[in-house]
Amino acid sequence: MSILHIKDLHLGFKTLTGHVDVLHGIDLDIAAGEKVALVGESGSGKSVTARIVLGLLQETRTARISGTVQFDGQDINAMSARDRAGLRGTEMSMIFQDPTSALNPMFTIGNQFTEVLRRRDPKLSKAASHARATTLLDEVAIPDPARVLGAYPFQLSGGMNQRVMIAMALANTPKLLLADEPGTALDVSVQAQTLTLIRDLVEQNGTSVLFISHNLGVVREFADRVYVIYRGNIVEDGPTDALFANPQHAYTRALMSAVPRITGAGLPEVPEVSDDFLAPRISHGGAL
Amino acid sequence: MIRTLRILAANPLSLLGLILVCLITLAAIFAPWIAPFPTHNGAVVDFLNNNRAPSARNWMGTDLVGRDIFSRILFAYQISLTLGVVVLAIAVPIGTMIGLLAGYIGGWLEMILMRIVDVFLSIPPLVLAIAMMGVLEPTLTNAMLAVTAMWWPWYARLVYSIARGEREEGYVLAAEVIGAGAGHIAFREILPNCLPAIITKMTLDMGFVIIIASSLSFLGLGVQPPTADLGSMVAEGARYLPDSWWLTVFPGLAILVAVFGFNLLGDGLRDVLGVDE
């Protein structure tokens, strides 16, 4: 059964002058334990899709959402705001671009960990949460968990904070993890470690992942399946190997050629808009 | 807390501010015991010693009815500090709540609340206070009321501007994503990040509240005789300048020292707590 099932998702925003359509009928499926990437340029609709899945955009009064978003068999759009909030932090969680700003600078890591763990178990004692946090930090290979728990976010490096974020996001063993370009604010070597860490942990826990990125290199190493999104439409999708071996859609090809080479052939040229980019969707299959 | 104090004390000016504030506070609390003439706070007359220049008996001289000015200054500090503390204790929570609501929730609530704040801010503070005191009776309580009414909008605006910025921070989104409610985010995530700025402004404002309260008394709209107040003491003595200079100079200096102390301390706190204007 699929953990996340999105069918014909439309999103528009009401503005002072009228109506702006952002998503034009997105279809996307994630099976249990599957790692799926959603790839596209800035403004293509990646992050708003994530916010709809989390049930955050439904609270925005100017947003007009239609279509089906089923999480674990429940229709997110039909739920009450309270029920949606109940899913967040327990059944689904998220990892952000910049781990340091995602942690509140006024509280210690230990304090923030307790709050996260109490989402599942409101009566959890301070000592028990401390013990659990220590184990979790140990799993993300933090060498001195006791010191980190007593520290404030700004006293730790970006890489350390990223590990803390990952440990927190997976602390309540969610069914779905949303990763919004994790680690793009960090340097490349730390980013690679981060991805390996996330992959190992989600495979261990059987967590499904929706991985949002514009970086095809990262996606290729991480995801089982890939959706390419352009201007609110899915233009191509399929298993990672098949899609990278034989990209069919003009936009996917443009994205792939846009990755700068380390060998230095100059910056690639990508057209801003092209009629080919608006060609119909191509699917390589592979979805449930 | 201890760490903050230690860093603060490393800067000589901040340390001076801290010492002045401590001295003034202690002097105010223990005024009845340390004042050489404890009864001189009220309606006491001693015409044998009236209008004397500073001497060994009266360090800062005596006023027109023979009361010891040094003793009266100590008691006046009591009133000034009480007024400052009460005004801030009422104005800060009100302003903070309004700023937090407007800044975090936004929408029409933000429009309504901040426009009300703008209306208050558009009236010059002293004019508002004088108008209020003109309608009400000039008593200490009413003086506090008037000063409070003109003070809360500044906190509303300060907290609003911070909350507006913090609302977009990653950790607020992160809290939303783990299912935190609006109350939790406003009070447990955003408010703690406003505290350094609030504390700094409160320290600086103690000085300003003292000045405003003294100005009201100077105009005869605040604390009424015979109770000692720095502003009314300056006003009384002003007619006898420059001959009986001690009548005005010492109460004036007392205001200066208090305001100077709170400002130095506030500036120091601002640097230590990393608040930018």
What ipTM does the predicted assembly reach? 0.76
In which residue are the tokens 């003292």 written?
B210
**B274 CB within 8 Å of a chain A CB:** no
The dihedral of CA A244, A175, A194, B189: what is its sign? positive
B192 with A54: Cβ contact below 8 A: no
pLDDT in tens, A99-147: 888 899 889 999 999 999 998 888 889 999 999 999 999 888 888 999 9
CB A232 within 8 A of CB A20: no
Helix (H, G, I), strand (E, B) or coil at A105: coil
pLDDT value at position A35? 93
Q: So what's the pLDDT on residue A81? A: 86
Residue ranges of chain B with pLDDT lower than 70?
276-277
* Joined tokens for residue A129: 């949460």
Chain A within 8 Å of B109 (Cβ-Cβ)? Answer: no
CB A63 within 8 A of CB A146: no
pTM value surpassing 0.90: no
Interface of A with B (CB under 8 A): 54, 56, 85-90, 93-94, 96-98, 101-107, 115-116, 119
Predicted confidence (pLDDT) at residue A235 exceeds the cutoff of 60: yes
Distance, in Å, from the CA atom of A116 to the CA atom of B226, rounded to the nearest integer, reads 60
Residues of B in contact with A155 (CB under 8 A): none
Identify the pLDDT of residue A288: 61
B193: nearest CA in chain A? A106
* Largest distance between two CA atoms of chain A: 60
pLDDT for A264: 66
Domain ranges of chain A: 108-173
Mean confidence (pLDDT) of chain A: 87
**Once rounded to an integer, what is the mean pLDDT over residues A161-182?**
90
Q: How far apart are CA A171 and CA A169, in angstroms?
A: 6
Long-range contacts: A76-80, Cβ < 8 Å, 24+? A76/A52, A79/A55
Q: Residue with structure tokens 């700004």?
A: A154
Task: Give pLDDT, residue A174.
Answer: 92
Note whether A174 and A92 are within 8 A (CB): yes
- pLDDT per position as a tens digit, A63-106: 889 999 999 888 888 888 888 888 888 899 998 888 888 899 88
Name chain A contacts of B193, Cβ cutoff 8 Å. Answer: 104-106
Nearest CA in chain A to B196: A106
User: Which pLDDT belongs to residue A178?
Assistant: 93
How far apart CA A37 and CA A43 sit, in angstroms, is 16
Q: State how far residue A86 is from chain B, nearest Cα, in angstroms.
A: 6
Identify the pLDDT of residue B129. Answer: 81
- Counting residues of chain A whose pLDDT is more than 90, the rounded percentage is 32
Which single residue is written with the structure tokens 């184990």? A135
Identity of the residue in A86, A87, A96 whose CB atom sits nearest the CB atom of B174? A96
